[in-house]
Structure 1
Amino acid sequence: MEPLIAFAATTLVLRLLGRVKIDRFNAWRPALRGGLTALFLTTGVVHFVPEYRDSMIAMIPPGLPWPAALVAVTGVLELAGAVGLWVRPFKRAAAVCLTLLMLAMFPANVYASLNGIEFAGAPADPLGQRILIEVLWIGAAIAVATEPASTGRRARLDPIEAAAR
């Protein structure tokens, strides 16, 4: 639940700041980029916290090799993706790669949900809830990946922003 809270709270705070003060966040896609950054910094770091790491290793479906290495590699990729979302030449590629990473890790979440694997002592998310959360995050990453490149200050109206008006 903490990653969802980090994502939602950061996205909403940045969007509100965009409405009142900071032009950069006066559209949904940059605010979503901030939310995804908070999400992947949160989840990436916990890949290396022993209590959480052990739970993540238990989530890896049987038959996949080197569960501990997979957890470490996905943690590094999540952290790199979070940073990449803010490096102009890489932000689109980072969003696409994070989308693919979420899709690749989804079977572990399904396995944990269906098998009641606890995460650091908390019960696994119900499968329906987990699917909705993943759809939200993947949708946000796709929105960020398709963010128009700006050529100056608000050169083009963001299509998502235009639809929201």
Structure 2
Amino acid sequence: MVPQLTLIVVTLAARAGGWLGWDYTDNWPAAVAVGLAAMFLVTGIAHFAPPLRADMIAIVPPRLPHPALLVTLTGVLELVGAVGLLIPTTRPAAALCLFLLMVAMFPANVHAARMANAPKSMHSRLGARTGVEVVFLAAAAVVVVGSL
């Protein structure tokens, strides 16, 4: 819920700044990029913050090796991607890479939805989680297409 709210609130605030004359967010793709950057800052930090880190490690599908390392790596990639979204020249590449990262990480969400004992912070119904993921992917696509 926090990532979705972060994306929405920060995107709207950034776009309002554009309407008020802030050139950095004078269009929707730029404002969405700022919203996504904030969202990935929140989710990236969560990869390192207890108890969420342990919960994320717990939902890594068992067929994948080194769950803690994967959670660390994806957290770093999210944080680097967030910075990339804020730099106009790297924005399209960062959004594309984050799009691909979200697709790659989605199996962990599917696994969590199917786990009988998923951590409460990571459990959601698959349909709801898929809907949220589609919104995140669409936001990244808006940034890629709108930044070209």
Q: Taking structure 1 as the reference length, what is the TM-score of the superposition?
A: 0.84
- Residue number in structure 2 paired with 1:74: 74
Shift of 1:123: 6.1
Q: 1:51 to 1:29 in 2, by over 3 A?
A: same
Residues 1:45 and 2:41 aligned together: no
Shift of 1:19: 2.0
- Residue number in structure 1 paired with 2:142: 143
1:60-86 per-residue CA deviation (whole Å, 9 max, x = no partner) reads 011110000000000000000000112
Shift of 1:148: 3.9
Residues 1:4 and 2:15 aligned together: no
Q: Which amino acid in 2 is paired with 1:50?
A: P
Question: Are the counterparts in 1 of residues 95 and 143 from structure 2 also a CA contact under 8 Å?
Answer: yes
Q: 1:148 to 1:69 in 2, by over 3 A?
A: closer
- Residue number in structure 1 paired with 2:100: 100
Higher CA-based Rg: 1
Q: Which amino acid in 2 is paired with 1:81?
A: G
Mapped partners of 2:147, 2:9: distance in 1: 24
Mapped partners of 2:34, 2:80: distance in 1: 14
Shift of 1:15: 1.4
**More deviation, 44-53/98-107:** 44-53
* Local SS of the residue matching 1:63: coil
**More deviation, 23-32/51-60:** 23-32
Q: Which amino acid in 2 is paired with 1:146?
A: V
1:23-68 per-residue CA deviation (whole Å, 9 max, x = no partner) reads 3323210110011001100000110112010000011011110000
- Structure 1: which 5+ residue stretches go unaligned? 150-165
- Residue number in structure 2 paired with 1:125: 124
Measured on the aligned residues, the alpha-carbon RMSD in Å equals 1.4
Shift of 1:87: 2.2
* Local SS of the residue matching 1:64: coil
- Structure 2: which 5+ residue stretches go unaligned? none
- Residue number in structure 1 paired with 2:22: 22
Mapped partners of 2:121, 2:101: distance in 1: 24
* Local SS of the residue matching 1:125: coil
Mapped partners of 1:48, 1:100: distance in 2: 21
Mapped partners of 1:106, 1:122: distance in 2: 16
